[in-house]
Chains A and B, each alone.
Chain A
Amino acid sequence: MTCLPGKTDKALGLVIDLDTCVGCQACVTACKGWNDQGYGAPLSDQNPYGSNPSGTFLNRVHSYQVQPVEAAPMIVNFPRSCLHCADAPCVTVCPTGASYKRVEDGIVLVNEDACIGCGLCAWACPYGAREMDADAGVMKKCTLCVDRIYNENLPEEDREPACVRTCPTGARHFGDLGDPESAVSQLVAARGGYDLMPEQGTKPVNKYLAPRKKDRPDQASLLAPLLDIQATGFAGWLDRVLRKI
């Protein structure tokens, strides 16, 4: 049934630190690599070496310029993927029951065997998290690497989403955002993690951490007192005499 579960036992999701992300696209590549061989239809590419390449990706990294009112502009790299919303509009519109939200951990998944490829769920998602695979004709979306996080054949340190595992700067964090004691929840509380497009009423599970405040160019340097060199001894006497002349 594509009715949403009122409450999930866990709320697994990601916390993405925009202060730390350097926009290296490693998460995009790791996601594509893992999802080419595991869960469901592989993410296909069309005309990958031609003049107009196109392909299915579950994670994309944008880059924005932010211009604060009285500070230097900054570049913010912005990874965008499924937010595993508590009130996921993509689930309720699905006519076949292929799209569902799991009661046990809150992950939003697509049962590809039941997907007719109507595309309505992709329309319903405000975040562009779903992409129809042009080869398989079914909807693809982030699975939160459901085939990694519970996979006992993998070493324990690998039981997290591929994007999190690969991130070289530690900008991506994975955990239970429904548990206020979890490391990710504490991180969100400490850094003021926020929702994307809260006005869309989707109640996203994933949270984003804003870049920390940068120093202002007009702020005095911490080294300023050291730069004010007072001459002593003979040089000091010369300094005083020369000032008086």
Chain B
Amino acid sequence: MNPAPSVIIFTVFSGMGFGYLALLATVHDYSGIAAFWHWFVGYALATIGLAASAFHLGNPARAWRAFTQWRSSWLSREAWGAVLALLALAPVALSDWLDLGLPRGFGWPGAVLAVATVAASGMIYASIRAVPRWHHWTVPVLFVAFACAGGSLLAGLRDLSLLALLVLGALMVLYWRVGDGAFARAGSTMGTATGLGTLGGVSVFEPAHTADNYLLREMIYVVGRRHAAKLRVLALLLAVVLPLLAMLLLPGRYGPYVAVPLHLLGALAHRWLFFAEAEHVVGLYYGKR
């Protein structure tokens, strides 16, 4: 699949933002102007991500219609989750900023909605059977793990971030291990795609068109997989190992200063791979994966 920058930025930043917002609403207890800036960062990350996703659309002016199909579409559910979470968290943010003294319990519904939104983002990909690598429960769980790790690093919660990073690292490795055999397990081949496999071995004689098209640009992205193994190590180092060491070894507040940028780079590398490595079964018609 084509690793479009808008979607990579959207999923990474909004995931981290919603994770941070969930922690601000439940664990942290800032007040005054400090609270304003913390909440501002959380809201900014979440909404920058949402705005970036609009650049991916062919007709952004009609984006409001994406709220209508929550009964069947995970994309629609994600849109609802995002708006509801941001609305539900607003009173908590105001209370923190203006010292209105709203009990912490009021933060929980918003926090749950924020995490659910991130899970729904993951489900958009996991629900697509035509991309076997994505069609697995590890995808939404991985998205939530990234949100927890990014959020707790931003919040500077040492113990929670160590735990979240360890879980994230394990999930990243699990996702790669499960994903590497997913295409073969799905059972789709050029033989089943054309139905000619029952007659003998099938290979491409002539392509349907000599220049490229939407399908080749969007779903059959073969460039860059060459370096997948190196990028995986890099993503794991940047997203998990180095932030973990920074949080362990650096004193007090300096840990997050080093860990957050590293983790963000790692998350971006991981998300790039998430798309670049995912193979769509339509590639079988072209003899490309």
Contact = CB atoms under 8 A, between A and B. Distances in A.
Interface string A110-137: 0000111111101111111001111011
Interface of A: 1-3, 18, 52-57, 60-69, 71, 73-76, 78, 80, 89, 91-98, 114-120, 122-128, 131-134, 136-139, 194-201, 208, 210-211
A220 B120 CA distance: 64
Nearest to B60: A116
Contacts of A94: 69, 72-73
A93 B127 contact: yes
A56 B62 contact: no
A93 B69 CA distance: 9
Nearest to B131: A123
Contacts of B195: 194-196, 208, 210
B240 to A, nearest CB: 28
19 contacts: A63-B207, A64-B196, A64-B204, A71-B200, A78-B194, A95-B66, A96-B76, A98-B65, A120-B73, A122-B214, A122-B218, A123-B1, A126-B280, A126-B281, A128-B215, A137-B58, A138-B58, A208-B195, A210-B198
B208 A97 contact: no
B200 A137 contact: no
B219 A115 contact: no
Interface residues of B, number: 59
A154 to B, nearest CB: 29
Interface stretch (B13-21, B170-178, B185-193, B266-274): B185-193
B208 A61 contact: yes
Contacts of B282: 125-128
Interface in B65-81: 65-69, 71-76, 79
Given A93-B73, A117-B58, A124 B213 contact: no
Contacts of B131: 123
Contact of A54 (B190, B192, B212): B212
A95 B130 contact: no
A1 to B, nearest CB: 7
A195 B192 CA distance: 9
Interface in B6-51: none
B197 to A, nearest CB: 9
Given A95-B68, A123-B280, A116 B63 contact: yes
Contacts of A2: 69, 71-73
B199 A93 contact: no
B251 to A, nearest CB: 46
